[in-house]
Structure 1
Amino acid sequence: MTAPEANRCRVLVVEDDAFVAELVLDCLSDGGFDADHVSRAEQARQRVSTSPPDIVILDLGLPDGDGIALTSQLKALAPSLGLIILSGRIAPVERIVGLEVGADDYLCKPFDPRELVARVRSLFRRLTPATPVASAIPPKEETTLNAFFFEGFTLDLDRVSLLTPNGEQPHLSSTEFALLRAFVERPNRVLTRDQLMDLIHSNDAPAFDRSIDVQIARLRKKIEPDCKEPRLIKTIRNQGYIFASRVTRSCSDGR
């Protein structure tokens, strides 16, 4: 990541332990990020509602609120917010719950500062396409979508958005969008969890066990009529998942 890219990434650290907060701020500053700090849940809600950062690094053990509840509250206030939980809670169930309520990543304490910086960089790269970039070239009167079509849905790669058959645009996190893209690019083909993790995660941000299952459960809620009996993303026992739909594509280059 170049220095200008890092400077555009604003990180809010929500941590009540002054020593840990200082350590995190120092390593983010050394990595070129614009980092700030609050120590209370209410301060975090206020900051995100008035001036949302790009990424929040959140401790779960705050003195004035539960970090899991705060995770879902912050994502509701700013759906495009990137959120990394940094916690001493190391049980797998804690990680799974954190992901289920909206966290994009989960890192346990004690942590390697270099790994934290790598994960922030990776998450910021995944978030960046969701930010529209103004073009100096006027758009043509007629443009061709760079998109995938399935079951009445349109997955628009240029706008990084999903349009439902009813004309709605549900919010997809950067990971959910990458996961759905991986599926529609490989329809009717069994993909293992390892393959899916390789497709949606960069090498400097290792995924942890079962995170794919959590992300798929969240994605199913947005595209499946009945999540208990999914028709699109089907589980293949002891193998992985398959996207069971006919998919067509329209490309901006005419393909």
Structure 2
Amino acid sequence: MKKLLEDEHLKEIRSKDDKDARFGHKTATSTFYGYKNHLAMTEERFIAGISVTDGGAPDGQELPKLIEKTKGNGIKVAEVIGDMAYVSDDNLKTCGQEIALIARTNTAVAAAVNGELKEGFCFNKDAGMLQCPAGELSTRIEKRSASNGNTYLRYIFSKVKCRKCPQKENCYVGKSKAKIRSYSITQASEKNLERLKFEESEYFKERMKIRHRIEEKNGELKEAHGLRRADSRGLFAMHLQMYFTAFTANIKRIVRLEELAME
């Protein structure tokens, strides 16, 4: 029993019935238990790439996989249009000069572009909060001004949860001896000005207008095809459900486009 309790993988398990599922956040106050389906979609609304993770996995880290899977399906990727979770150092390097990353930079993510976020920390775009390596969200944000004229955001974490967390000894926030468990992030620096300027361009704003299509596709998969609920347990089963659902949605789209072409 002692050996089992010391196993780091077992500490992460939240259900005896489904060892792969995890808690994720849709807002700062609401959670869900299960999995996330990450999609790459063409402008014609065909699903071109799929990645399936547990509910607590950050969205942004799946972008390189989605790009590779899309390319593997014979589609040339010239643009990626998404939400603020996708702007990170790794994703910008992945896109390079060949792929335009059409996504807005969040203040916390802008810090990540400079490599300032500690390992395991990420910005949860749904909740609008910083997420720690254990998957817990900060409880509030404080905006402060430094003596040198810079401004920074201070993300406050629950000291009760930090105290009980099994990862506290290796966590940047958990190791703090201060009464308040916090993580401070300096707002956008000179290095990010070029990126932020790009986001204010007419080209960027025009392309962002079609981002709603991916949300509509997600809604279709959930409401019309039952993807809101996993029909079995485990990550492998969720992969199967997602792939079969995407196949069905793509067939429907092909039929619809043929109907439009004949009108």
Common topology (TM > 0.5) = no
**How does the TM-score come out when normalised to structure 1?**
0.29
**How does the TM-score come out when normalised to structure 2?**
0.28
